[in-house]
Chains A and B, each alone.
Chain A
Amino acid sequence: MADVRIDALSVTYHGVDADVPALGGVDLTLADGDSVAIIGSSGCGKSTLLLALAGLLAPTGGVVEVGGEPVSGPRLHTSLILQDFGLLPWKTVLQNAELGLKIRHHPVRERRAHAMDALERVGLSEFVHLFPSELSGGMRQRLALARALALDADLLLMDEPLSALDALTREDLQDLLLALWRDRKHTAVLVTHSIEEAVYLGRKVLVMTPRPGRVAAVVDNPGMGESAYRQTEAFYEKCAELRRLLASEGALHVGGVAS
């Protein structure tokens, strides 16, 4: 079970010069298998929120619970995909994909099998012996995804995973993310700067205020996951609704959400 409960979460960074309040009290509840897209201006604390959920950052205040347990460190079945993918340049595609299992001391044969399986799912099984520097941006992204999948994650945290990609590759991978989510039924938290992506991939869309980030609104998006949702009237309306919300938050234009 990977239901999420975040209650009055605040994080303050102790910067070189001054303290930076990044999150100013965030509340969020997610059922197991739910999916939320987080959108907000640059620097409002989205990445910080994911780090806290992943157990890599101790909150200054508030509670973070996953599966009913308070998060105090990296959790066995949480996978985090960082803003720049976090692939290790000195490891091959296969070695990167199986890294999580290696760190957890799974036997070689088993982790090979899991990693190959995950690479298969994202369409990289022919490239196992290449290094990340030999992959295209889209392939790197898929590799980061495979590494997360190999861990058999029930909570998948993704920080702008598709923002560096061209429009075509991006839609392709959005479809892959959606298919995986439907298929595996994990809980998904996706940070994005794109309104369309948020509406396409989030059954809820969480809009954050500028720094220090709080929840400005949670928009329900029940149409998400329908086939060819991108082409429907409902999709356009949801996007327009979200755009209005963001504009009233002052997030458009100031912080650089793609409008």
Chain B
Amino acid sequence: MKRTVQKALGYAGAAVFMLAFWEGMSLLLHSPALPVPFDAFAQVVEQFDKLVPQFGYSALRVAAAMAIGLLVGAPLGLILGRSRRADLVFGPLVFLNYPVPKVVFLPVLLVVLGIGNASIIALIAIILFFQILVTARDAARAIPAASVLSVRSLGADRWQVFTQVVVPGAMPEIFTALRIGAGTAVAVLFFSESVAGSTGLGWFVFDAWGRVRYSEMFAGILAMALLGVLLYEAIELAESRVCRWERAGR
């Protein structure tokens, strides 16, 4: 409870600071491209009925993409981290592709999957897949040998070592990858929705920009910021549930 209040106060403080900074910059620049916060919030109210469904589209896309990236990337990464043979075969494949900026594949995805949800989700999922895979692989490698030995001495087979030691041992790192991934995901969401969509917050912002409606655009940006915060907090919440031991003994 106390933690929740502390957190809320933290967010409130940060919001006040950002608004003051924004207001200052806006007055300083004196350009329609950076409206004062009040105008942006007024637009949030005015456009509320339009913003809510766009927010929903975007949230669903990001959530779906993160789920896919996680469910495919984490197990594969853990396997590569624990199996020398798998790593020898698939490791180079991963590291060959890892540095390539995946957004360049959007045109290809558009050809294959068409304009719309599938392409957007696929692009974000591919990017997160690599981030999560590489983190999970390193985390699995760093599992202390003593933990593995101790469950093996209890008679554990490979699968049991995996479920009892490797998965929980790597879990905190996987959550970190997810948190970092949430930021990436929203950024890529903006890009892909503005190119490949006619719905979603990315499209909303891009569209307002095109119509030179800057206050409206910032209303969309505010909604995106909110989406980012909600994702981040959802991941925090999930981690505190799944990794309860991390809070123990502090």
Chain A residues engaging chain B, CB cutoff 8 angstroms: 51, 54, 56, 74, 76, 78-80, 82-91, 99-100, 102-104, 130-134, 147, 151
Given contacts A88-B147, A103-B156, 17 further A-B pairs with CB under 8 A are A54-B153, A56-B149, A74-B154, A74-B155, A79-B153, A79-B154, A80-B150, A80-B153, A82-B146, A82-B153, A84-B146, A88-B168, A89-B245, A90-B245, A100-B154, A103-B155, A104-B155
Q: Does B101 contact A (CB under 8 A)?
A: no
Q: How many angstroms from the CA of A99 to the CA of B171 in the assembled complex?
A: 19
Query: Chain A's nearest CB lies how many Å from the CB of B240?
Result: 13
Nearest-Cβ distance from residue A157 to partner chain B, whole angstroms: 8
Taking the closest CB of chain A, its distance from the CB of B139, in whole angstroms, is 13
Complex-state Cα separation, A151 to B154, whole angstroms? 8
Give bound CA distance, A222 to B55, whole Å. 79
CB neighbours of B153 from chain A (8 A): 54, 56, 74, 78-80, 82, 86
- Which residues of the other chain, B, contact A76 by a CB distance below 8 angstroms? 155
Interface residues in B134-183 (C-beta closer than 8 Å to A)? 146-147, 149-156, 160, 164-165, 168-169, 171
Closest 10 CB pairs of A and B: A86-B150, A133-B249, A131-B248, A80-B153, A100-B154, A90-B168, A131-B245, A134-B249, A74-B155, A90-B245
What are the residues of chain A within 8 A of B115 when measuring CB–CB?
A: none
Query: Which residues from chain A contact B147 at a C-beta distance below 8 Å?
Result: 86, 88
Residues of A near B149 (CB, < 8 A) are 51, 56, 82, 86
Instruction: Check A99 against B248 for contact (C-beta < 8 Å).
Output: no
**Interface pair A74/B152, CB less than 8 Å apart:** yes
Interface size class of B (residues with CB under 8 A): 20 to 34
Check if B243 is an interface residue, CB within 8 A of chain A.
Answer: yes
Q: How far is the CA of A74 from the CA of B155 in the complex (A)?
A: 5
27 A-B residue pairs with Cβ-Cβ distance under 8 Å, sorted by A, are: A51-B149, A56-B153, A74-B152, A74-B153, A76-B155, A79-B153, A79-B154, A80-B150, A80-B153, A82-B149, A82-B153, A86-B146, A86-B150, A86-B151, A86-B153, A88-B147, A90-B245, A99-B164, A102-B164, A103-B151, A130-B248, A131-B244, A131-B249, A133-B245, A133-B249, A134-B248, A147-B154
Q: Kindly report which residue of chain A lies nearest to residue B144, judged by CB atoms.
A: A84
Query: Which residues of chain A are within 8 angstroms of B151 by Cβ–Cβ distance?
Result: 86, 88, 99, 103
Partner pick for B154 among A51, A85, A103, CB 8 A cutoff: A103
